[in-house]
Amino acid sequence: MVLAEITNFAALRRHLGCARADLLTADVVSRFAAALPDARLSAASRSMVELTMESGEASDLDRVLERLRELCDAPFNLEGEEHRLKAVFGAAVGRASQTDDVRLVEEAEAALLEARGADGAVKHDVTGPGARELRRMADELRVAIAENQLLLLYQPKVHVRRQEIGSAEALVRWRHPERGLVLPGDFIAAAENGGVIDLLTLWTIRQAIADQRRLSAAGHDLRVFINISGQLLADNAFVDAACHLVAEADAKLGFEVTETSVIRDPQSAIANLQRFADIGIVIAIDDYGAGLSSLAYLKQLPARELKIDKLFVTQLTSSNRDPLIVRSTIDLAHALEMEVVAEGVETHAALALLTVMGCDMVQGFLISRPIAVEALMTYLEEDRHHQAPEDTRASFNRLATAWKRG
């Protein structure tokens, strides 16, 4: 949503009179409508135009604002006389399913207020859950990191053929003093926008190294995978710090990155991924299939694992199309000499199908939910002594049968 306000409207009205000044606002509306046919437009007041539109990309807002500014800068012709408008813009962007109208209007109004203060400057800093809220949360996160409120849970990845747990993914949680356990979906975006993601990720690396040492001391030599936000792949200071931590500890780590994070700034992303790979960090491509898949980039990445997005995996046995996509993804990854991990494996049926398709590793609620490092240790002990809980054992048995049949 964009609110465009004509700031010299009062002056124009004194010059033109009420009726003709109102015509100017109507002109602005029709100019916007002609240039942006997808937008819904209305005059919010005599001097203000409201514009709403839906788009797949939040970044489209920048283009829209630039276009609106151009449209307002061009002179308006009223009965042969030229007039110049001065306009400011307050914009708010949110997710269609998550942001209600009232929220969006309030955020756009807040942005407009800031734009007025900056005298004509375009403000478009309101996104997703609300820019102010994100900023507040980012500040809170800084405290959380310093006061040890974060914790890591681990979700094992099982090697299908070897029937053993070869690695585990670290997933961050926030033990919030008031709100209880908060999931990453509710704070990673704030960490990214608020410039805390580097601190947070360096904390996860340190914690993962410490946890891995504990596992290793108990005889469980697992590689621990960490999620790395895309923006960090272009952050050389972060990459230096991360490499230093990992090299110094001689830790067996993996980094999961999404393809979209590489597409943003391919050159520096690829160079930095190579630096990670050079010191023994295994690179896994996360959420494959969820974003804009680009085979050209895939080939250039020093990645050893490809993780098929859980969206395809959870629907594997109920859709006609997804098994095809999964199967061809597995073949493609193997052709590129990568191992394939299916995430979101929730049912025996999905596991059996993936096994037959030649998927190398599986991860999901069927095998284990994300669990604390102590619980992972117990799980590994039980697995070692073949005393796995009933359902896990059953899944392994079926797994073996399916494999032999395949």
Interaction site with ligand C2E (CB under 6 A): 155, 171-172, 183-185, 188, 201, 204, 227, 229, 256, 286-287, 310, 314, 343-346, 364-365, 370
Q: Is 287 in the site for Ca ion (CB under 5 A)?
A: yes
Considering beta carbons, is residue 101 or 186 the nearer one to ligand C2E? Answer: 186
**Nearer to ligand C2E by C-beta: 3 or 168?**
168
Q: Which residue has the tokens 């010191």?
A: 279
- Output the CA torsion 66→68→72→76 (10° steps): 130
Residue with tokens 């135009």: 49
| Minimum CB distance to Ca ion, residue 334 (Å) | 20
Near Ca ion by CB under 5 A: residue from 5, 286, 322, 383: 286
Contact residues for 188 (Cβ-Cβ < 8 A; gap 6+): 172, 197, 229
Closest by Cα among 64, 170, 57 to 108: 64
Q: Is 305 in the site for Ca ion (CB under 5 A)?
A: no
Beta carbons within 8 Å of 312's beta carbon, 6+ residues apart = 289, 322, 325, 326, 329
Structure tokens at 88: 């400011």
With left for phi above 0 and alpha for psi between -120 and 50, is residue 148 left, alpha or beta? left
Kindly tell me which of 188 and 359 has the beta carbon lying closer to ligand C2E. Answer: 188
Which of Ca ion, ligand C2E, none does 155 bind, CB closer than 5 to 8 A by kind?
ligand C2E
Q: Is 219 helix (H, G, I), strand (E, B) or coil?
A: coil
Binding mask 192-231 for Ca ion (x = CB under 5 A): -----------------------------------x----
**Closer CB to ligand C2E, residue 49 or residue 366?**
366
Q: How far is the CB of 298 from Ca ion (least distance, A)?
A: 16
Closest separation between CB of residue 309 and Ca ion, Å? 6
Q: Which of 256, 322, 360, 383 binds Ca ion (CB under 5 A)?
A: 256
Q: How far is the CB of 170 from Ca ion (least distance, A)?
A: 9
Give the per-residue SS3 of 88-135.
EEEECCCCCCCCCHHHHHHHHHHHHHHHHHCCCCCECCCCCCCHHHHH
CA distance 33 to 345: 47
Distance CA 53, CA 270 (A): 35
Integer Cα distance of 283 and 233 in angstroms: 12
The nearer residue to ligand C2E, 72 or 367, going by C-beta atoms, is 367
Binding site partner of 99, from Ca ion, ligand C2E, none, Cβ cut-off 5-8 A by kind: none
* Chosen from ligand C2E, Ca ion, none, partner binding at 183 (C-beta under 5 to 8 Å by type): ligand C2E
Q: To which residue do tokens 């949503």 refer?
A: 1
Q: How far apart are the first and last CA of the chain?
A: 54
CB of 256 to ligand C2E, least distance (A): 6
Nearer to Ca ion, 1 or 285 (CB): 285
Query: Of 127 and 314, which has the nearer Cβ to ligand C2E?
Result: 314
**In whole angstroms, how close is the CB of 155 to ligand C2E at the nearest point?**
6
> Under rule CB under 5 A, how many of the chain's residues touch Ca ion?
4
Do the Cβ atoms of 6 and 47 come closer than 8 Å? yes
- In 279-347, alpha helices (H): 295-300, 310-314, 322-335
Binding stretches for Ca ion (CB under 5 A) = 227, 256, 286-287
